[in-house]
Structure 1
Amino acid sequence: MDATLLGMGDEFQGRVYSFSVQWKDHFLVKGSAFAKMGIDPLLTANMDMSFVLGYTDGPDSDFIWGFTASADFKILSFLNANGEIMVSNTGFYVGVEVNAGFDVWVISLSASFEAQVWWIYGEQFGAYVEIDVNATLFKVASVGANLKGALIVDSGFLIYAEASAYVKVLFVFNGRVSIWAAIRNGKISGGKGSNSEYTSMIDDARRNAQGIKDEMDKLAAQLDEISGAIEILKMTDEELDQCRHKH
């Protein structure tokens, strides 16, 4: 099934590349689709989506549902972005990354942005953001700054922020400063550098959030092994690859 948006022709294309239904023994529906957009030289984008709904092992098993989507964008020649979203009966996860950089004569600039939001059913809600900016002059002098922030709510709560900056001049000067602040269950604290206890907690929480994606991948693998589903539409890998790269 193909789609074209508002008569844009090849500038926007969408296609459902798999859709199957199973009702023998138990009910199960799953499908996948992708879309792409190209407006040279302004924007190129690719998007993939998939969903599942039903019972994996008979009507007495747990009812499961899930939706995943991922996308990557390129704007002009200096900005790249990608994101993903996963929603299921175990929680949700949303992640976004943006990177930009360009050189102008003797100046080189780069910047990155990362953000994540997640909720694990009955366990935890969290959010994380990080911004990084760097600049170099004549390849001998550079400056940069980094900002991190996180929120974790489980049996208690943690709000954490960390900022750092540096200045470096080749063979002359190299300096860095960093500070942190936190609110943990109503108690405020802060200091220089970073807090290893809190950063470890945040890293663990982010890994747990990735577990939602791992569960979705595991579920998808299990569903592929289920026999008896009627494939209403199914594209081969070769056909899918041709569609994605078709101009």
Structure 2
Amino acid sequence: MSASGSFGSSPGAAPRSASAAARVSWRRVLARHRRGLAALSAAVAALALIVAVRPPPPSTTPIVVAARDLPAGSTPGPADLALVEMPTALRPAGVLRAVRQAAGGALTGPLRRGEPVTDVRLAGPGGRPDGGTVTLPARFADADAVAVLRPGDRIDVLAVPPPEHPGPARLIAPAALVLARPTATGAAAGPSLGSSTGALLLLEVPRAVAAELAGVATGPVLTYTIHGFASGAVATNHE
């Protein structure tokens, strides 16, 4: 009815104008960043695809490894060994699955830190199943000759006849495995053969010859020839 009434705005005009302006603003933002948004969408899609096709993690098994460097001939205890997880498909044959399985066994060769402990690396209780071998100490006549040996070497053990019954040396234990050279704690008992008082070796020998070797192992009447070095080299006529 008045002039002001003819030119006034309807109550919903201002909100509709603001909403339209907001839509225009968002369109401009989307248009300005469309390439970045497209790249982000592609990355998300690729990540989703990778997650969908990625195979499940491999199953693992606990195995026993050396917790530190261990010398051949040593008897590792719980502090020397550790359990680690290894993919089951890569697990070595005969590897120990519990530390207690190594109890009382002597190492047939040196182990590096982290190296798996298998049954063939142990001799004696807790080691490999009895394959017809036993472990026993043997005293040799010449300590200087014993000093050149190291764990892992193989020797042919010979019995030397006493001076009152001269004759050729007799082969007792072929290819005996040297497990350790125990440190001497005093002079060897019994008469010496040569200039040395003798020295001990811890050997792994076939069960069939163990009794005979034990019968002469307490006296200094043993010598040896080298069957093979731990490194694989072979020497002959070394006594």
TM-score range, shorter chain: under 0.3
Work out which of the two has the higher radius of gyration on C-alpha atoms and give 1 or 2.
Answer: 2
Greater helix fraction, Structure 1 or Structure 2: 2
User: Which structure is richer in relative contact order (CA contacts within 8 A, separation 6 or more)?
Assistant: 2
Q: Give me the TM-score of the superposition, normalised by structure 2.
A: 0.24
Q: Give me the TM-score of the superposition, normalised by structure 1.
A: 0.24
